Amino acid sequence: MAKFRSSYVCQNCGAITQRWQGKCESCGEWNTIIEEAAALGVGGAAARRGAAGRPFPLEDLSGSSKTEPRLVTGIGELDRVAGGGFVPGSATLIGGEPGIGKSTLLIQACAAVARAGGRVVYVSGEESTAQVRLRAARLGLADAPVQLAAQTFVEDIVATLGSGDAPKFVVIDSIQTMWSDAIESAPGTVSQVRGASQALIRFAKASDAALLLVGHVTKDGQIAGPRVVEHMVDAVFSFEGDGAHAFRLLRAAKNRFGATDEVGVFEMTGGGLAEVPNPSALFLAERDGAANPGAAVFAGVEGARPLLVEIQALVAPTTFGTPRRAIVGWEPSRLAMVLAVLEAHGGMKLGQYDVYLNVAGGLRIMEPAADLAAAAALISSLTGASLPRDAVYFGEIGLSGSVRAVAHAGLRLKEAAKLGFTRAFAPHSPRASGEPVNIATQPIDNVGALVALIAASAVETRAGRAKSPARSGVTN
Ligand code: TYD
Ligand code: MG
């Protein structure tokens, strides 16, 4: 009698153990290990049959292969992240939080591909066909020849896709809802997700369809459960944004057919996702008309794309014993470091002040290059001196108070010049080729120089306007 061997699989990382444990040794998560029927593994079936392998001809590295024609969806931002369109026979995983717009983006892509000709299939495991149809109608895509299904059983899906014309573009929304008969464990487990992905990817490779799998992410941004799927697919994109703002970023975390530093920018509108060809303009659109203390424009780079965004700071005397530090859109540890450097090397006394820092527009900045802009906003708020409205800031601050050069200086300056900025405060960098001439770079090589510069303009402002005594925490 066949007896199922079972193994214990971590639902977070896919690690296998021989017995149940409360904590996964591999990823450190608690209560993620559940019992599943053991998979045979690749080659397991052949080994049992005792079949011998057959030799196959090997190829030379120097041989030529034809470049794959790409399947262009016509949604420019999506195609760019994919590396110039999707490669037939490839599998792409698109992860994102619920409600971020994955289904909306993919139904728009399906409609665009279908209108250009070719069979396009959209399989939803979460919504009924009526719901998908309703959304498409709202987006004005009701007439696109996309084939719909509300199915979760992988064997049926593969059989349906395999009958009739070979599909060009297949969307599975989402992979976590799919299940296969060949696997013993319950739907939604790592084994099921892995098995279902394997079956679908095998179909895509055999039929030259471009396969897009939607994956849910957990709170900390990982694709839920099956990290294993990330290794099976050719590309992994993440769709990010924040519910309170309309913009969305599509990033490539892995791409076998393109660069991973591409970023697509979209805006969620009443008519679906709209491409944003000039994201800096979107993020700067809500800047105050007049110059305000505490606002600095950071010339950032997302992936390979320049992105200008305003950093706002508020430094106010604390009313509690312990001053507050609150931050939105940037790392608290970097703020702590910048504050410490401003105290130690800039002569600023911040111990009696609450500090708030906000990246306008809901963007999350990861770059250390934002240090200088954050510092400028903080000094500006503390001294009450507005920063020049036509200036951008970038540079990484070191613990010694020095400001270090960052990558893509030329790209940042070019974008700033394009948007009408005329001055850039940045560390000395080896002059990048093609640097624009219509923007003046003022080198800032240490934090002290930045404090002195802004404090000097604060003194001018005060003298000029003869205002009531302004507070100043700057002691040198
Ligand atoms: P959806 O694509 O269903 O998200 P996901 O598949 O990632 O879970 O998007 C849902 C959200 O998008 C929903 O909150 C409403 C919003 N939305 C718009 O703002 N405009 C639109 O045209 C559409 C279709 C959705
Ligand atoms: Mg969805």
> How would you write the pLDDT of the chain (476 residues) with one tens digit per residue?
444 567 888 887 788 888 888 998 888 888 888 887 765 544 445 445 556 888 888 888 887 777 778 999 999 999 999 999 999 999 999 998 888 999 999 999 999 999 998 899 999 999 999 999 999 999 999 999 999 999 999 999 999 999 989 999 999 998 989 999 888 888 778 888 889 999 999 999 999 999 999 998 766 655 555 577 888 999 999 998 887 888 899 999 899 998 888 889 999 998 899 999 888 988 888 887 777 899 999 999 988 889 999 999 999 999 878 899 999 999 999 999 999 999 999 999 988 999 999 998 888 898 999 999 999 999 999 999 999 999 999 999 999 999 999 999 989 999 999 999 999 999 987 655 556 668 898 999 999 999 999 988 877 776 766 544 444 445 44
Nearest CA to ligand 1 atom 10: 99
Burial letters 62-94, b for 16+ CB under 10 A, else e: eeeeeeeebbbbebebbbbbbbebbbbbbbbbb
Residue with tokens 């990330």: 230
**CA quadruple 108, 114, 118, 120: dihedral sign:** positive
Burial class (CB in 10 A: 0-12, 13-18, 19+), 322: exposed
| Candidate of 78, 102, 104, 107 to mutate for ligand 1, largest count of ligand atoms within 8 Å of Cβ | 104
Ligand 1 atom having least distance to the Cα of 239: 7
Using the mean position of ligand 1's atoms as its centre, give its distance from the Cα of residue 42 in Å: 39
Using the mean position of ligand 1's atoms as its centre, give its distance from the Cα of residue 161 in Å: 27
Nearest CA to ligand 1 atom 9: 101
User: Which residues are in the CB-under-5-Å shell of ion ligand 2?
Assistant: 103
| Candidate of 177, 268, 269 to mutate for ligand 1, largest count of ligand atoms within 8 Å of Cβ | 268
- Looking at all shown ligands, the one closest to residue 241's CA atom is 1
- Looking at all shown ligands, the one closest to residue 139's CA atom is 1
Q: Is the distance from CB of 244 to CB of 203 less than 8 angstroms?
A: no
Ligand 1 atom having least distance to the Cα of 126: 6
Q: How far apart are CA 413 and CA 369, in angstroms?
A: 13
Using the mean position of ligand 2's atoms as its centre, give its distance from the Cα of residue 371 in Å: 37
Ligand 1 atom having least distance to the Cα of 268: 19
pTM of structure: 0.80
- Looking at all shown ligands, the one closest to residue 98's CA atom is 1
Ligand 1 atom having least distance to the Cα of 271: 22
Ligand 1 shell residues, CB under 6 Å: 96, 98-104, 135, 138-139, 268, 270-272
Using the mean position of ligand 2's atoms as its centre, give its distance from the Cα of residue 102 in Å: 6
Q: Is the distance from CB of 102 to CB of 214 less than 8 angstroms?
A: yes
Q: How far apart are CA 174 and CA 172, in angstroms?
A: 5
Using the mean position of ligand 2's atoms as its centre, give its distance from the Cα of residue 233 in Å: 20
Q: Is the distance from CB of 174 to CB of 193 less than 8 angstroms?
A: no
Which ranges of 116-185 does DSSP label H, i.e. alpha helix? 129-138, 154-162
Using the mean position of ligand 2's atoms as its centre, give its distance from the Cα of residue 214 in Å: 8
Q: Pairing relation of β-strands 325-328 and 353-359? A: parallel
